[in-house]
Amino acid sequence: MFKKVLIANRGEIAVRVMRTCREMGIETVAVYSEVDATAAHVLEANEACLLGEAEPSKSYLNMERILNAALETGAEAIHPGYGFLSENAEFAEKCKDAGIVFVGPPAQVMRDLGDKAIARQIMEKAGVPVIPGMKKGTLDPERLQNEAETLGYPVMIKAVAGGGGKGMRIVSDPETLIQETVSARSEAEKAFGNGSLYLEKYLASPRHIEIQILADQHGNVVHLFERECSIQRRHQKIIEETPSPAMTQEGLENICNAAVSAARAAGYVNAGTVEFLMDKNGKTYFLEVNTRLQVEHPVTEMVTGLDLVRLQLEIAAGNPLPFRQEEITRKGHAMECRIYAEDPESGFFPSPGPVLIHREPSGPGIRNDCGIYQGFEVPIEYDPILSKLIVWAEDREKARMRMIRALESYAILGVSTTIPFLIDLLLSERFKDGDTNTEFIEESFADWTMGIDDADLARIAYVVDEMNLSGSEKGLSGSVGMPTPWETLGEWKL
């Protein structure tokens, strides 16, 4: 096993990887930009290397600097987390050339599956059902127009090198195709350095179902069941759960077998996710393969009891999978909510700034993968995810109620967060009934606003009072002798 691993990422995922490394007796190396000098992942690591300025291209996307950091510190492997360089085939190749193990699939597999058009061809040959669409990407707007007419509107524009909702647009008529094509191409070029696009037939209001797979270097491939990720905004998942409330046993067997076939057809190695869309009739279609660890991997860990990061490292070190498919079981129900520094009332606009209060929820079945702490300054330069709150319970309804309680007891002040929005979403009858799809937020929460009741005011009073007392003790506040919120709020009770 490796003695030292560099984590080429930041935030909660870097912290999460480091904690498994610590359990395995592996030393960790953090990398950071100038604005992340005091970030949680830097404090968590055994040692840290400055990459450069805040701009990702000069820090977390700077391949040469990251590789030099690994060589300088004696790191034997690099774990890329997700985002940044995690699905970059060129980086995987550079790691191999430098004699450093890339914790992920081989570069050629990443290249094939990272090209959405080639990935579709691989799936078709493997007998995995795909959504009707183009075989190859293009930069030619006229060709996209012709293909759209052939497929029939509505269509989905996708970036060939895309992921995370970048470069995706739904187009309902020919009049808006060119405008959306220009916008999608620009976004794809900025995010991936590749503006090539392709079209798929748009499926209205599908469910988003994905299968976690693991494949070692000895030809063994297994699945770890499904996750449902239908609750999305701007094609970004915000709530994930397993099992899916819509999945039948027959459907589960079919989709899991398709995912394993897809992994074998691609020559996959390490952890990955095969994503599908499910139409209203329960039929599933291949969407894409994410050649990395997923943001939502903790829900799978909660129901299977497996540590996916540990398994990634074991596979990367050349060890075979320690179990067969029939030995993998799951128990109960798990949910994950992504906590973002965003203002849901203002179109989920980013909310950078200092975290003045941070109180994490606790209790049975609650886990919080967190990348911040009280006093941390949330930067504007990166994805605004703060943490991932995960719960486990015996069934879906108990998990839903546990998540609501956990969110209600999660206090973050100083930046706007998505917590109130998530609570209302989980309280909705549609979510309670499992009646979800990828258009859920647009259909049911497009005009959401936050209401504040007496209980909310009491909670705010509590944390503000703590801030006043803390500030007085440290000489940072002029609140000495001033009335506390308890005195000014008036009569109240919980």
Active site residues: 292
Q: Are 153 and 170 in contact (CB under 8 A)?
A: no
What is the total residue count of the chain? Answer: 494
Euclidean distance between CA atoms 120 and 115, whole angstroms:
9
Q: Are 163 and 87 in contact (CB under 8 A)?
A: yes
Question: Closest Cα partner for 40 from 375, 336, 339?
Answer: 375
Interacting residues of 205 by C-beta distance below 8 A, sequence separation 6+: 280, 437, 438, 439, 443
CA dist., res. 286 & res. 381, Å (int): 33
Cα of 104 vs its chain's centroid, Å? 16
Three-class HEC string of 300-362: HHHHHCCCHHHHHHHHHCCCCCCCCHHHCCCCCEEEEEEEECEEHHHCCEECCEECCEEECCC
Distance from C-alpha of 139 to C-alpha of 134, rounded to nearest angstrom: 13
CB hemisphere CA count around 356 (13 angstroms): 16
For residues 302 and 369, the answer to whether their CB atoms sit within 8 Å is no
Q: With beta carbons less than 8 A apart as the criterion, state whether 407 and 423 touch.
A: yes
